[in-house]
A and B are shown apart, each in its own frame.
Chain A
Amino acid sequence: METITKVNNPYGEDKVIDACSLFGMMDLTGRRFGSKAPVKAISNMHERGNGLGGGYAIYGLYPEHKDDYAFHIMYLNGESKEKTDRLLAKNFDVLQAEEMPVNPAANVWSPPLIWQYFLQPKKDAAKNQSNDEYVMQNVMRINSETGGAFVFSSGKNMGVFKGVGFPEDIAEYFCLDEYEGYLWVCHGRFPTNTPGWWGGAHPFNILDWTVVHNGELSSYGINRRYLEMYGYHCTMQTDTEVMAYALDLLMRKQNLPMEVVARILAPPLWIEIDNMEPNEKRLCIVMRQCYSSLLMNGPFTIIAAHNGEMIGLTDRIKLRPLTASVKGHVLYLSSEESAIQLVTSNLDRVWSPRGGEPVIGRLKTMKPVEILAPKVMK
């Protein structure tokens, strides 16, 4: 754990600060599509990154292994791979393991060794916990105990590809033109206080949850202390990590619906709550009372995704951009509208969600779900 903290935050700052471009594209029917549109779109926002990080999460990636945990792991050294392989062999049935196919000609900086695994927890190994919990613990162990291995992604039927370079170079390096998925989340990064480190690029993943994030949380200090109360260790020291753990706590562990979660992360203002009808008002007050330490304050836009769902959300006064768009059954979320217009013409609808109002794409729900806040503040 120490190792990751040191590599990701070499100057020991409060946290790693970065800003970014985000792009998400989801076919709500579940039809899988290739890299062409998403890579072109994220590449169009080149100026929002500085070449120190780009990455992709693709869902519906491994239909032939859809029930196996797909691990993408990067290694800083050979020793960490040996340790990781031993740990995996001990705790999992390793169904397949191979080096990630890459294109060495791509313009990326100092690529590490990256492997891809398909795993099933050893029978009865999980004992009194769910398979997810068991996998999560093993991911934490690999990240903290092997001294140089870092799990890019660990979900089913999905995978994360990321590294140091512009998003278009990362796509080329990982040969993304050979993959398909029904949901793509893309990220270009502009870190200000960390040198390039492949693990530090977005998306950030835990199980099948991924988060890409643009912004800087002024509330990071308390968000982190609150999550630590629930056993999360913020080793990466990034806002994205805090965001991912908050989603994990609220959605996976506490089983709260996204509609509620959005109002915890970016709650309506008190002046808006005061003017709500009684039931909704009570609910919003209680949410702010109970989860005040998870209010994500300061500028952010996130695109969070897990199997079957993609969510776009900004902070409640919208200090970072987010544009949503629909064409047919495809939902687009992007930092800039131009990126969407570039890859699709004649959009059915383009809009800018207001601060704190999530846009949710759900598989087989043919219209994106929007949760609108009451319009009190003009």
Chain B
Amino acid sequence: MKSYIEPEFIVERNQDKCIRCKVCINQCTYETHYYDAEDDIVYSHDENCVNCHRCVVFCPTRAITIKRNPTQYTENWNWTREAVTAIKNQAETGGIILTGMGCDKPYYTYWDRLLLNASQVTNPSIDPLREPMELRTYLGAKPDKLEFDLESGNSILRTKLAPQLCVETPILFTALSYGAISLNVHEALARAATEYGTFMNTGEGGLDRRLYKYGDHIIVQVASGRFGVSPDYLNVGAALEIKIGQGAKPGIGGHLPGEKVTEDISRTRMIPTGTDALSPAPQHDIYSIEDLRQLIYALKEETDYTKPVSVKIAAVHNSAAIASGMVRAGADIIALDGIRGATGAAPRIIRDNVGVPIELALASVDQRLREEGIRNKASIIVAGGIKSSADVVKAIALGADAVYIGTAALVAIGCTMCQRCHTGKCPWGIATPDPWISKRINPDIATRRLVNLLRGWSLEIKEMMGGMGINAIESLRGNRLQLRGIALTDTELKILGVKMAGD
């Protein structure tokens, strides 16, 4: 069948600059570029280009420019190019259109409509270069109060606290499953988390035994496919996370195609090589809140109540009520993943149409837990499109204890968000099981880039906190008076629990 789909991108090569070194040909995993010996010219198959910029960055003479195809269908605000192309695609394949990364639709990013406060006159701002500025955060259930026994004048603590995770900066690496991303990326995340005093989350694909030594800084995930879940795995992590849902695909399971299940991945996921790894949409032993409680306590039993258990859900319409149930079911941490949360593969229609922006879900969950007097019973980690340190500060002021970053971490090590993770051919060596391509991530360099990102953001967070006259992050958490909304309706302001700028 002749395809009616036109190339989305056009590769332009400045022939004066091109030295025929063929780096672009070697770097492109989509076989976009080819060399014609007769002409002594490098040409491109534009239709293969995914706009990943691998060739652009690695071209030694900067000869390559990628442009959006200027040939457009007749302009129509309803029938956009994306809509028309999708229909043609489906007419040719009869399938579901897959994509990677997070929702790219122009739904409000509420972070960008929230502004931060700073101290003037009545209280001093604090200079983080001169004064201590504390970002350390403990994640886990806190008691309502502490009780002490008085023994010979000394206060002896009687209350026993639930296990806690200590993070030196309120930023954790979110669940990125082995198989969807390469071992080298997993290693870099684990090493960076260890070096900076935070955590990486294994995602649902288990943990390669070579990374067990970083277990003190790893959250091990248990998802519906139960890939790689063993007593060793559960006990090697610092915390456990039950994955109910994911912001990029609420209500949808996962599917790692058999060709991605290489020998290493098969060993870690504990499935035969070459078989599809299917994660069911629900966890088939959790059809209700009381079932969740059983799994939470099964995991706590297995780990002897020494590790906090997190439960991750996608932000959906009734997140507040669901979160309240999760806390009462025994979750020590609630992980909320908003509509802009990314994925290695999801149906585009789900990714772009299901869920709630994380800002709104966070605001309502935090408020509900407070109204019910149980906010201290669980920490909240939010995920889904956190793109700067300002987003982190705003998330914490809205009520989060910490944030998960995924996309930002991958961008730090090369990702350009071309949204083709599902192909497994990531030219940056990130979202690929291919041992040859994944060598493009050097764990040493990737670790350095990730640590630099954490450091840069942490310094910026300290600057913003200092400006507000706050020298401990706990005084920012849930402190919505430090936020003001701009260009928001009364209803939005009410849900966010913030005042309008100028008010």
Contacts and interface: CB of A to CB of B under 8 A. Distances in A.
Interface of A: 12, 14-15, 17, 19, 192, 215-216, 218-222, 225-226, 228-230, 254, 256-257, 259-260, 269-271, 282-283, 285-293, 295, 297-299, 316-317, 319, 377
A225 B375 CA distance: 10
SS of B interface (majority): loop
Contact of B122 (A192, A260, A316): A192
B468 interface: yes
A290 B481 contact: no
A19 B132 contact: no
B134 A221 contact: no
Most chain A CB within 10 A, of B148, B161, B474, is at: B474
Interface in B151-175: 155, 157, 159, 161, 164
A271 to B, nearest CB: 6
B122 A19 contact: yes
Contact of B157 (A221, A271, A286, A298): A286
A257 B370 contact: no
B477 A293 contact: yes
A218 B122 contact: no
Given A215-B123, A216-B123, A256-B148, A229 B482 contact: no
B469 A297 contact: yes
B145 A289 contact: no
Contacts of A259: 155
Interface string B179-218: 0000000000000000000000000000000000000000
Contact of A219 (B131, B136, B146, B470): B470
Given A270-B136, A283-B157, A298-B469, A218 B119 contact: yes
Contact of B126 (A257, A260, A288, A317): A317
Interface residues of B, number: 43
B374 to A, nearest CB: 9
11 contacts: A216-B122, A221-B479, A225-B370, A229-B375, A229-B376, A260-B155, A285-B138, A297-B470, A299-B124, A299-B469, A317-B126
A91 to B, nearest CB: 28
A299 B123 contact: yes
Contacts of A290: 142-143, 145-146, 159, 161, 376
Given A19-B122, A229-B375, A286-B157, A218 B468 contact: yes
B356 interface: no
B476 interface: yes
Nearest to A273: B136
Given A222-B477, A298-B469, 10 more contacts: A15-B481, A17-B122, A221-B480, A230-B373, A259-B155, A283-B157, A286-B161, A298-B475, A317-B132, A319-B123
Nearest to A260: B155
Contacts of B119: 218, 298
A297 B136 contact: no
B471 interface: yes
Nearest to A190: B122
B146 A218 contact: no
A254 B144 CA distance: 10
Nearest to A264: B146
Contacts of A299: 123-124, 469
A254 B145 contact: yes
Nearest to A228: B370
Of A216, A219, A292, most B-chain CB atoms within 10 Å:
A219
A225 B132 contact: no
A221 B481 contact: yes
A351 to B, nearest CB: 23
A254 B158 CA distance: 13
A96 B248 CA distance: 69
B86 interface: no
Contacts of B481: 14-15, 220-221
Nearest to A17: B122
Nearest to A259: B155
A192 B481 CA distance: 18
A225 B478 contact: yes
Contacts of A271: 132
A17 B155 CA distance: 36
A14 B159 CA distance: 35
A20 to B, nearest CB: 12
B470 A218 contact: yes
B472 interface: yes
A17 B122 CA distance: 7
A288 B477 CA distance: 13
A228 to B, nearest CB: 7
Nearest to B125: A218
B150 interface: yes
